[in-house]
Structure 1
């Protein structure tokens, strides 16, 4: 076996090199496939338990909370979100660096960029909380995680759209224009689905009508799917970038 001298050129080559577009697709596909698997398994093997509510009226689809609280669905969801969360933190840091580069001399936008970064972290923490504490284990903690996730998600989308409205104001890039318009439309769609979900949830709890909880479940699916699609716009934002893991050059160890 050929020996390579310590500190040679080969040693300084990247250990891992992944296109950001591929990372974005993998990051979104993990929770998407996990969610689909949980809903399908709940419908096939735990239909009565997954669609049951305190009203005891017919429902036809499980809510996400119900689907991910059953076994083995909860383990599938926890596995997919566990793998998904680390790249989400990385993407949040990448956006913070991107915004700082774009708004290097504008204090207001710098502060908004930092606030957006904190919202991204809060959203991910809320997702982890509602994932690893199911509604059948500790409902109050699960509910708090869900509220944190939804609230942080909506404000994160709003702040992101504001930042991108300033970016495209002086941009001629077709990718940036497309990214902004998708972000804006997905934010409006997501907000509308959240309003409908709250309406159907309260109506179900108040009147116990048949099928209303199913309408809530559909809106809940759309909220989560539009959230995933919003984060998928990173595909355009970092299209030419790569994620690399490499050893630091000699003399630059910290």
Structure 2
């Protein structure tokens, strides 16, 4: 550590904490809705019985929306710090065949990562009851960028072919979480349209369950980034200008 470093935090330490905040936000808002707002959070246009609320329904109601927004804000801001560290991590690799493609995909992955994080903030701040169009469009961009980031990241890891055991573990976990994320979202989409078409009892609750699984698999995928950048740290450093003025 440099002498002019005032303090620093390794991503391997505070990264898992940052990644756990959206999981905590999901659990708290859903549990609160189940305990104190079950009827309101599970009510649909069909009027059929349900026992699980969707996250979108939870965060559109008070006080759940405030809990969700606070925890997502605490999560999203530090996540922007992950982007340059993760870009540096991939930029250190030289791929003999297709290095230009590798460099382009690294930049593309960072772009998808930043847009996904920004859209998470937007859809969290604007609920479906406040402005349905903004909320839905933000979610669509969020999920598309999430998938593009996952797929691009998997391809980058395959191209890099790192030999370190921790990096190989991270790659295996990424493949598992990406597969289950896509599968869970596919089931959730099917159940969503089935509920709107047939208004069957408890289909909305099944949709909510797969929505939870989609959220958690997304969180777990991003959690593997803390393995990739485990040797990186964010810190506060006194600049040369300040040192010269002393």
Q: TM-score range by the shorter chain?
A: over 0.9
Q: 1: CA distance between counterparts of 2:86 and 2:42?
A: 39
Once the two structures are TM-superposed, the CA of residue 19 in structure 1 deviates from its matched residue by: 1.5
The structure 1 residue matched to 2:100, chosen from 102, 107, 114, is 107
User: Structure 1 runs of 4+ off > 4 angstroms?
Assistant: 250-253
The structure 1 residue matched to 2:43, chosen from 7, 32, 52, is 52
Q: Residue by residue, what CA displacement relative to the aligned partner does 1:61-116 show, whole Å, maximum 9, x if unpaired?
A: 00010111111110111001111111111112211122222148721111001111
Q: Does 1:132 align with 2:125?
A: yes
Aligned to 1:212: 203
The structure having more radius of gyration, on CA atoms, is 1
Q: Residue by residue, what CA displacement relative to the aligned partner does 1:27-59 show, whole Å, maximum 9, x if unpaired?
A: 112111111111111111111110011111011
In structure 2, runs of 5+ residues without a counterpart are none
Map residues 234-245 of structure 1 onto 2, 5 A cutoff.
234-245=225-236
The structure 1 residue matched to 2:152, chosen from 156, 159, 163, is 159
Q: Is the 8 A contact 1:27 1:84 kept in 2?
A: yes
Q: 1:211 to 1:121 in 2, by over 3 A?
A: same
The structure 1 residue matched to 2:113, chosen from 94, 111, 120, is 120
Secondary structure, aligned partner of 1:15: strand
Q: 2: CA distance between counterparts of 1:71 and 1:251?
A: 47
Map residues 164-243 of structure 1 onto 2, 5 A cutoff.
164-168=157-161, 171-243=162-234
Q: Is the 8 A contact 2:85 2:229 kept in 1?
A: no
Q: Is the 8 A contact 2:86 2:229 kept in 1?
A: no
Aligned to 2:136: 143
Q: 2: CA distance between counterparts of 1:104 and 1:86?
A: 32
Q: 2: CA distance between counterparts of 1:123 and 1:223?
A: 15
In structure 1, runs of 5+ residues without a counterpart are 1-9
Secondary structure, aligned partner of 1:17: strand
Q: 2: CA distance between counterparts of 1:225 and 1:215?
A: 16
Q: 2: CA distance between counterparts of 1:115 and 1:100?
A: 13
Q: 1:246 to 1:166 in 2, by over 3 A?
A: same
| Aligned-pair Cα RMSD in Å | 1.8
Once the two structures are TM-superposed, the CA of residue 14 in structure 1 deviates from its matched residue by: 1.7
